[in-house]
Structure formats: structure tokens, C-alpha cells
Amino acid sequence: MKMLTYGQYVENAKTSGQWKSYQKRWCYHEIAIELAKSVKLSRKADVLELGALGNQIVPGSHTMDWTKSGWEAVESCPTYDWDAKVTPWPIEDKQYKLFIALRVFHHLFPNQEDAFREALRIADNVIICCPEKEIIGEGIPREKFFEWYGGEAKKLIETDGWGIVYLF
């Protein structure tokens, strides 16, 4: 399974004003790529990415974006045009092997727990990058994720200022 390369990431980032700090943001994408490689994926359709704004870890994966959100999405036709704060999501249980949401969950306040539970419901594995504290949105302390998950993450990697990347 081919993963996002740095060259693709830069090319995609330059097409949108949302990626002003793309060079610094690569660190958590790179971590997510390594975690995604640890999941046995056979098809792009095994992956759902939330709020990727055109920089999917698995290029060609399914996406969930809400086109009415005000965020400038590179992909104007997501697989699911859905507000992730609204649950349940229109997705079958365990439809995906992997769900990825990088720097999205702090924007889902006050519905973060519901969205997290939906991610666990629809996918076998969940990768999330989220700050514990955030000026825009509401960060989620790791203890809160562990409480919702019912234990610690399978893997947890701290970034330098961008939050924690979790594999559940």
C-alpha cells in the first residue's frame, strides 16, 4: 500500500491556504504514516480519513469532510459530506480497517467523545493526532482519551508542539 510522500504532501499543501505551516506539520503526518504501515491494509478503501484537506496519509482513501464547514477542502467531493460532530455517522460498524484524523478532534468540541466512539465503532484501528491544550478548539488530555477507550492507546507518540499521535 502506497503512503503519502513528502513530495506529494508539499504539492498538495501548496494548493490550499489552510497549509501555511505545512513544513512544520509534516512531523505528525510522518508519524501517522509509520503507524498506518503497522496496520495490515490491502485496499485504499480500507481507510477513512477525517478532515485531511487533500493530504490523505493513504492517497485515494475514503474521506469525511463537511463541505459547509468553512474549511477550504482540496477535495470538493468527499466520500462522506458529513459534520463529524453529528452522530451516529452514516457508516457501518467496522467498515474500515483504519480511521485517521490528524489535528481535527480539538475542533469537534463539545462532541469529541461521541466522535471518538464513532471512530472506534466504524474502524478496527484509529490514528488521531490531537493537542492536549489548544487555543482554537478544545484540546483533549490523554487521560480523557484513555477513559473513553477503556485503557491506554496501543501506541502514543508526542510531537514537538502539535499534540500527541495515538494509535488505538
Backbone angles phi, psi at 48, to 5 degrees: -120, 130
Residue 53 has pLDDT above 90, yes or no: no
pLDDT tens by residue, 80-113? 999 999 999 999 999 999 999 999 999 999 999 9
Cell match 477507550: residue?
Answer: 149
Q: How many CB atoms lie within 10 A of CB 93?
A: 8
**For the chain, what is the radius of gyration of the CA atoms?**
14
157, amino acid identity = I
Locate 19 and state its grid cell.
497549509
- Cα–Cα distance between 31 and 74 in angstroms, integer? 22
- Cα–Cα distance between 1 and 166 in angstroms, integer? 21
DSSP-H helix ranges across 2-93: 6-13, 22-37
Bridge-partner residues for 158, per DSSP? 164
Residue 69 has pLDDT above 80, yes or no: no
Question: Mean pLDDT over all residues of the chain?
Answer: 93
What average pLDDT does the segment 134-154 reach? Answer: 94
DSSP 60: T
Split at pLDDT 50, 70, 90, the class of 73 is low
What average pLDDT does the segment 10-30 reach? Answer: 89
Q: How far is CA 5 from CA 10, 26, 77, 91, 96, in A?
A: 9, 10, 22, 28, 22
Say what the pTM is: 0.95
Which of 70-74, 84-88, 154-158, 164-168 has the lowest average pLDDT?
70-74
> What is residue 95's predicted lDDT score, i.e. its pLDDT?
98
Q: Which residues, in sequence order, are CB contacts of 115 under 8 Å at separation 6+? A: 84, 85, 87, 105, 108
Q: Provide the 3-class DSSP secondary structure of residue 46.
A: helix
Residue 21 has pLDDT above 60, yes or no: yes
User: Domains in the chain and their CATH numbers?
Assistant: 6-167 (3.40.50)
Q: What percent of the chain has pLDDT over 90?
A: 82
